[in-house]
Structure 1
């Protein structure tokens, strides 16, 4: 027979034990056993949203129909949603699918206004894909090659103009990198978005434009605009006759791509990270997914967590140099 005090003590111990056990077991063996959120820090309908939903469907199928949902958390140039994941519990139930803009570029541009640390607050899982920018000119441009365009720029410093989708965006920074590496003075003309910048180029209001290959391809194929180079390290399979900027003398190593990557909060169990990575790899290897995205010019990657971590560190260093040399941060 237990005394009253013994019963109370036993009840207290039981309550303490219950408090120490999470509502759902968080071990890698049991993962996932509740809804997994893929948070993208951009609006629905964009590239990150499309890729996020493809990944959610694949993971849900692999994980015995455990719910995997996409949550769009746009705001502050992508910093809002990124910060939400940075401050989430590192249990594998909050994943971040974002671009190099919020991880490698924004912290350099906005400084203390970015409340997360891209290295300390995240563990990279995998880069899903990358997309190059294309350097375009109007059909009437006297420059038939990238080399000819840069020669024109050197002969008339500051007279040629190049548009972008906005100050501090990937296209703008690609231009600043080109100016720095090639030693040319080209006037930057920012627009409110990709569409208006393309319209300006079509109307001969500017002389050139860096734009995503997804946006550029229709105009190139219809002969409305001429592609002189792509910003990826190598040529893109969808535009095999268009050289990479990196092929030009003195511009070896030039690379300015937009990538989509998956990250989790720092402290997530490495076994869970590996399980999520295996889901990403299954999506990348899926023929249906490849058939949908590769024709658009997207380069599917699916690299390992440690490989993606090195890429993130390298990109942060690269963009820090570009931002510092260009003075773009002072324009924001």
Structure 2
């Protein structure tokens, strides 16, 4: 004679069947929801002031093109402050539904975590999902003609002949130009003095006037000054020569190594746990957009190189650059203003 199932055992079986059915249902809903995305406007946060950076130029161009592709508005919202971390924090804490995106520059993502330390309001690795790196801005060492150097090698010779008498400027303590100068000083084995300014325009003005001797920078204004002869490009901090200034050698070509990672990039990120189908859709559309002649021309006009790293490639680059900059900051004892 069979013994009837006890109430607890029967309840457990029913709960198990319900859980399995729910899992199956959610599994069916997930892809459908991703296929329906976007069903409403998307907000793109740019953590810098409007119109003042390549990030803003690229972000607005990308938002416009994504709006056309998705049939939904992609609104740009500038939320500047604290080296871009204010706007990035807003995205890090936003719902992971694909409707809030971050258009970030490398300094906010790879330098700020070490520079700000415990003051960093979010964790890049845990709170953000890389989507695609789509523009690389090469940096280079530039000097006024009055400095008397035509190449980085020339500058090193001058600095070694006059220890402590030459200087390099930056747009502020802890910025990429500052850290670049510190790495150059170390790798070249020279004694030069750092002079921090309150911004890039002030640093550039004194450089053009010949009052200071060296600056590590990128972007359209710097390239423009090199092209018109106002500044001399001593060397690029990239692994290969730039298509924008093909005649300028890299620092590695001149025997100064360990500086290939010093550049700026612009990329798109989303809150962590954003559905992977949404991330992949964004990447797929960005890669198509970056392949168009009009977008390639826009990026090149900003003295940058168009690209389209996959989410995984972008994530790997973020981890590698974060480790690189952490070592630079720790060995040079650099601090933010």
After TM superposition, is the score higher than 0.5? Answer: yes
Q: For each residue in 1:152-193, what CA deviation from the matched residue of structure 2 results, as whole angstroms up to 9, or x when unmatched? A: 223332221011111111111111121222222210111121
* Residue in 2 that maps onto 1:9: none
Q: 1:221 to 1:290 in 2, by over 3 A?
A: same
Structure 1: gaps of 5 or more residues: 1-20
Q: 1:141 to 1:250 in 2, by over 3 A?
A: closer
* Residue in 1 that maps onto 2:37: 31
1:127 paired with 2:158, answer: no
Match of 2:146, SS state, is coil
Return the alpha-carbon distance in structure 1 between the equivalents of residues 240 and 303 of structure 2. Answer: 12
Return the alpha-carbon distance in structure 2 between the equivalents of residues 290 and 211 of structure 1. Answer: 21
Return the alpha-carbon distance in structure 2 between the equivalents of residues 39 and 203 of structure 1. Answer: 37
Q: For each residue in 1:219-272, what CA deviation from the matched residue of structure 2 results, as whole angstroms up to 9, or x when unmatched? A: 112211111112222111111111111222251553310100111111111111
* Residue in 2 that maps onto 1:59: 66
Under a length normalisation based on structure 1, what TM-score does the superposition of the two structures give?
A: 0.88
Return the alpha-carbon distance in structure 2 between the equivalents of residues 76 and 192 of structure 1. Answer: 13
Return the alpha-carbon distance in structure 2 between the equivalents of residues 177 and 232 of structure 1. Answer: 14
Return the alpha-carbon distance in structure 2 between the equivalents of residues 29 and 129 of structure 1. Answer: 27
Match of 1:289 among 266, 287, 295: 295
1:118 paired with 2:124, answer: yes
RMSD: 1.8
* Residue in 2 that maps onto 1:321: 327
Match of 2:131, SS state, is strand
Return the alpha-carbon distance in structure 2 between the equivalents of residues 187 and 215 of structure 1. Answer: 24
1:189-228 pair list within 5 angstroms: 189-228=195-234
Q: Is the 2:237–2:259 Cα contact (8 Å) retained in structure 1?
A: no
* Residue in 2 that maps onto 1:241: 247
Return the alpha-carbon distance in structure 1 between the equivalents of residues 305 and 187 of structure 2. Answer: 25
Return the alpha-carbon distance in structure 2 between the equivalents of residues 213 and 235 of structure 1. Answer: 15
* Residue in 2 that maps onto 1:93: 99
Q: Is the 2:54–2:219 Cα contact (8 Å) retained in structure 1?
A: no
1:72-91 pair list within 5 angstroms: 72-91=78-97
Return the alpha-carbon distance in structure 2 between the equivalents of residues 313 and 139 of structure 1. Answer: 38
Structure 2: gaps of 5 or more residues: 1-25
Match of 2:57 among 32, 43, 50: 50
